[in-house]
Chain A
Amino acid sequence: MNFSLTDTIAAVSTPPGEGGIAVIRISGKNAFVITQLIFSKTKDMFTKINLNQEKSHTIHFGYLISDNSVIDEVLLSVFKNPHSYTGEDVIEISSHGGTYVSGKILQLILNNGARLAEPGEFTKRAFLNGRIDLSQAEAVADLIKSKTETAHTASIRQLEGSLSEFVKKNRQKIIDVTSLVELELDFADEGLEFVKKDEVKKMIINICKDIKKIIDSYIAGKVIREGVNLVIAGKPNSGKSSLFNFLLKSDRAIVSTVAGTTRDYLEESIIINGIMFNLTDTAGLRSSDDFIESEGIHRSRKKISQADLIVYLIDSSMNKKDITDEIEFFNKNFDVNKSFALMSKSDLKKNEIKHSLPEISLLDEPSVENLKNLLVQKSISVSSVSANEITITNHRHKLCLENTIKSLTDAVNTIDKNLSGEFISVDLRNAMTHLGEITGEVTNDEILNNIFRNFCIGK
């Protein structure tokens, strides 16, 4: 990678396409110099602006000039280092929207000495300049990608540092426990009272509980960021495709149809009440005669196992025995926590069979609304989304937290094995390292400093 932190980068920061305005961002040592070459305060003659004399966080009206002609009427936002997003000198040019104009402005900037920014490079610089920590940088990436309101909120919260805050707090707790454990190793003959192993164990378990909660939020976090993976399953002709197509038609599909890796299923995304659902229709299964043995079932099973939520359709128009068999099949094979059965084609039902399952008829609007509510409700319960809690949306964070828990669990096992402090400390220090990986912190002196702060040491 040919990547330097010393040059000046630029890019159009608003998404491509037609819009009211576009923002072009320039960051780096020469951001001001380059801007001064192309920006004039007046239209008819070139009146140079001296950006070094302007205050940070000010906006200036003027014209972008190329070859003596005006390209656009713009506003300049001036951010002086280190008080900018990247920590460098930053200029944001608000121009009129449209790919043509913004492209032309960007070209002008590049011609005057800036380099086109690589994807994420502004954020990378913010990180390298110490403006944001690793988890915040990742949140920015997530924020940019976020497709729904809930995802946006979660990223914003992470950006504000709530995860960093959590990591910091819990890392301190582990440092405290480690100091208690290590105190005994270095200061055995200081006449101090040492904490009982049971106490230490209790403290570790409590930390585990807190971290576990955050890990659990990952399901929610993933749902928020990537949407709920919803699979519509059921026997051939149970109405899967009809439901699939109906839901797509009734709600805005935000992602164009993605052909499945095989012809056996289709995926589409829709938003219901602010929650994104990635719909999978196991459509290809319909043509298979030997349902159980077909190759398709494997793929379908795989899809089902990856699903966050499964709707299993049972055809109301079948005879009584088939329906009872189907209910039994569902109860036996599906996890009730993330799936529910739905009686389809309720307008065509032949027999009165007693069941407590919800019904749907695509001809009956209230029953469709009912299903949508049910989907939202269920996805909230699978994700246990709550507005005020910290959620993690990043897989790397989840792994770090899981490793932390693993090391903490090792520590508890070490205590149970009745091994002495230096072994417990190996596990605790590992836990600290894993937790620190989220924000990129490293430990060493913190334990000793903690000991000196809290205990009277010194014969």
Chain B
Amino acid sequence: MNKLALVGAVLALALIPVLVADAVYFYSGTFTFSAIAQPVVFGYGPNGNPSGSYATYVSVSNGTAGTGFSAQIYLTNSTYAYYYQIVQIKVNSEGYLYISSISLNSNYIESAYLYIQSSSGGSPTEIKIISNGYVVNSQTPPNAIYLTPGKYYVSLLIKPTNPLPTPSTSLGNISLYFGYNPVMANELPLPPI
């Protein structure tokens, strides 16, 4: 009798959820992807051509898609070292370019600045990226730069920590993460964070 009562109670409990759930709704979402032109394409500037005249001092490669660049910079003891128009940014659609994150892996950079300038001239926009040996991740004012379609050149100014070690020694690197918002100037931290 007790066993029958127990089995009955278990069955009753199992049926309760079915009885109380009288309606279930289902939804679905689908992401469909289509390729569009890159709004910005990175490349080497007039003085960053890896097979150009300045390759001994600076050499920029940008892969096949132009989604970034890698610049080999050769520093020497100096108060400042300026690498003029070494990176090109080709803007296909207007938007706001900003630096979302910076990382520094070097003990030889006291300060560093980026200068972004239209290929047709005009005043460049200065972005301080390294100050007193530390990255400047909080730009004041915010550094989103409005870019219209066209070509822009990036220059790099570095104040090295002197004296530098023996030539050909690796001095480390600076990594920049750019954000490009084609709609508004809001800046968000982007991966990697």
A binds B: no
